Amino acid sequence: MSLLQSIILGVIQGIGEFLPISSSAHLIIIPYLFDFSLNMTNEAKMAFDVALHFGTLISVIIIYYKEWLSLFKGAYKKIVHKKNSFENKMFWYIVLATIPGALIGKLLEDTVENFFRQEMLIIALILAIVGLLIYVGDKWASKHYKYKETSFEKLTLKQTFIVGCSQALAIIPGFSRSGTTILTGRLLGISREAITKFTFLLSTPIIFGATILNLPNLAINTEVIMGIITSSLIGIISIKFLIKYIKNHDFAIFAYYRVIIALLVIIKLIF
């Protein structure tokens, strides 16, 4: 893998991890569409993917470090001083919501690696189908929950746990961690701003865990370092963009994009 390729993949990860378009699918599709070989074993590719995810983990921490400090302080005050707070509640909501995704992801890891990641057509179809579901689900939620959407401060244990369960699907390329959790949150009546923020916070522990588990497979070199730096910087831009964008827009543009990129893959597969 060249330095340029590592930078390109870092850009893809930084955009795809936070926008609902599936970073894992794009890390497979882009090399296929543009015919560049990474000359890496599957184990090395997976390790490099984790390195790129670590870069986006840095992005989330930089953007939300104040929120995480408040969450940890809230949990600490509850344990030590028995003091209830919203921050304590949200901390444990995130912990509980992380468990199903982490467990299911670990159980299905080999299946995904040996099947889904090798099937370009299936990845393309999932990209398109989930994109359409995001579009329809968001439109439906806007009408069905009009004037009664749940804000971030009003999130319930049931809502956050269901969103956490849906996160497990993100292990399959094409679903997208943010896309799946945002769709689930919208169907549960959570506002766009609230589910987007919760999605970003929810990504923190599972990406951190995946990074720790795969560290032994990661060889640190210039390409890996540049991939991490690039995905981190682009990730910060992507988070800020989405937070600002959803204040006045829906998720339609991402649905359109997913369908278009899926069609490009299918066309190349045919011809």
Position 116 scores a pLDDT of: 79
pLDDT value of position 253: 97
CA distance 264 to 117: 18
Closest CA to 202 of 98, 59, 87, 62: 98
Tell me what pLDDT residue 122 has: 95
Q: Are 54 and 204 in contact (CB under 8 A)?
A: no
Stretches where the chain sits below pLDDT 70 are 42-43
Q: What is the pLDDT of residue 48?
A: 84
pLDDT score, position 93? 97
The Cα–Cα gap between 252 and 136 comes to 9
Task: Output the pLDDT for position 133.
Answer: 97
Question: Under DSSP, is residue 150 helix (H, G, I), strand (E, B) or coil?
Answer: strand
pLDDT tens-place string over residues 120-146: 999 999 999 999 999 999 999 999 998
How confident is the model at residue 161, as a pLDDT? 96
Measured CA to CA, the distance from residue 246 to residue 267 in angstroms comes to 31
Task: Judge whether 169 and 180 are in contact, CB under 8 Å.
Answer: yes
pLDDT of residue 269: 95
CA torsion sign, 181 to 168 to 91 to 78?
positive
| pTM given for the model | 0.93
Residue position matching structure tokens 């040996």: 114
Three-class DSSP category at 190: strand
Selection from 146, 81, 136 nearest residue 250 by Cα: 136
